[in-house]
Structure 1
Amino acid sequence: MSMLKIVVPVDGSEPANRALDQALNVAEGKKDAEVTLLYVSPSPVYFPYYSMVGPSLNEDAKEVEEREGNQMLDDLVAKRSAKTNVKFVKRHLYGIVAQQICDYANDTKTDLIVMGNRGMGAFGQMMLGSVSNKVLHLANCPVLIVK
């Protein structure tokens, strides 16, 4: 039997933390499991304000985002790895969040995506759609949404 690969998109929110706990519950009973913590930063190109004020702010914003995103990933692994024998992988990507999650899952032949459901409210979901809803419809593997 091959390794069980689970991707957990994280953003520091409580729903994402609950999703990570659930992913670890699924992985814990498996002999060979890997949980990838995936943090996706929206590319600066998606922030019109950054492009209006110039590339130096883009670089500064990207450096801050890179540092903070990597620190969050490191903290999550440090907090959870002592309590489990599951192998962790950390990835920090840039781009359209739902698309990056699905592309990564497809590229790595992920078995399961476990993610939190963020309650945006009916109007926000109707106008914007939630990341979890987009992933649910775009992913080529099973998606577990944790409330």
Structure 2
Amino acid sequence: MRKALVPVDGSAAAHRAVRHVVALANIYPSIEAVLLNVQPAVDTWSVRRVLKKEEVEAIEESHGGDILLTDRQILKAAGIACTPVVEIGPPAETIARVARESGCDAIIMGTRGLGAVSSVVLGSVSSRVLHLSDLPVTLIK
């Protein structure tokens, strides 16, 4: 494995996925990570009335960069090359597209625990990524 896409949303499961990449560095010392935060597109009339599209996107990108900060530091401390990416759009589709465009070998992403709500969460993004991507997808609980 040369390069892994790691979607990060600030959740504990996403942080565990980053820690998994650090563990993989023992097996694949030259592993690289593409840290991706996907921000939802804000298209409500109340926001668009006050802010221009470019201003909303700048705020979303700034927020996404803040979410990536802690995980970037973890990877840097482990000596793992990291490319931070913030995108705006539908999460699963964006994850699959960025993995493909970035030349990643795999996607490593967190999930929620397997409780009553998890099937909804797992079904919404993780499962969709499994269906959309031809790459191996590792789900970290």
> TM-score, normalised to structure 1's length?
0.81
User: In 1, Cα distance between the equivalents of 2:17 and 2:24?
Assistant: 11
Letter of the 1:13 counterpart? S
Specify whether residues 80 and 106 from structure 1 end up closer, same or farther in structure 2 by C-alpha distance, changes over 3 A only: closer
Tell me how many residue pairs correspond in the alignment: 139
After superposition, give the CA deviation of every residue in 1:19-53 in whole Å (9 maximum; x if it has no partner). 111122113432422111100001123xxxx2355
User: In 1, Cα distance between the equivalents of 2:64 and 2:85?
Assistant: 9
Specify whether residues 37 and 122 from structure 1 end up closer, same or farther in structure 2 by C-alpha distance, changes over 3 A only: same
**Which among 108, 111, 118 is matched to residue 114 of structure 1?**
108
User: In 2, Cα distance between the equivalents of 1:123 and 1:13?
Assistant: 14
User: In 2, Cα distance between the equivalents of 1:16 and 1:31?
Assistant: 21
Moved over 4 A (4+): 58-61
CA RMSD of aligned residues (A): 2.5
> TM-score, normalised to structure 2's length?
0.84
Match of 1:78 in 2: 73
User: In 2, Cα distance between the equivalents of 1:54 and 1:5?
Assistant: 38
Contiguous gaps of at least 5 residues in structure 2: none
Specify whether residues 124 and 62 from structure 1 end up closer, same or farther in structure 2 by C-alpha distance, changes over 3 A only: farther
User: In 2, Cα distance between the equivalents of 1:134 and 1:95?
Assistant: 14
Match of 1:25 in 2: 23
How far did 1:142 drift?
0.1
What percent of counterpart residues are identical? 33
Specify whether residues 53 and 13 from structure 1 end up closer, same or farther in structure 2 by C-alpha distance, changes over 3 A only: closer
Residue 79 of structure 2 aligns to a residue whose secondary structure is: coil
User: In 2, Cα distance between the equivalents of 1:97 and 1:131?
Assistant: 7
Letter of the 2:127 counterpart? N
Specify whether residues 53 and 111 from structure 1 end up closer, same or farther in structure 2 by C-alpha distance, changes over 3 A only: closer
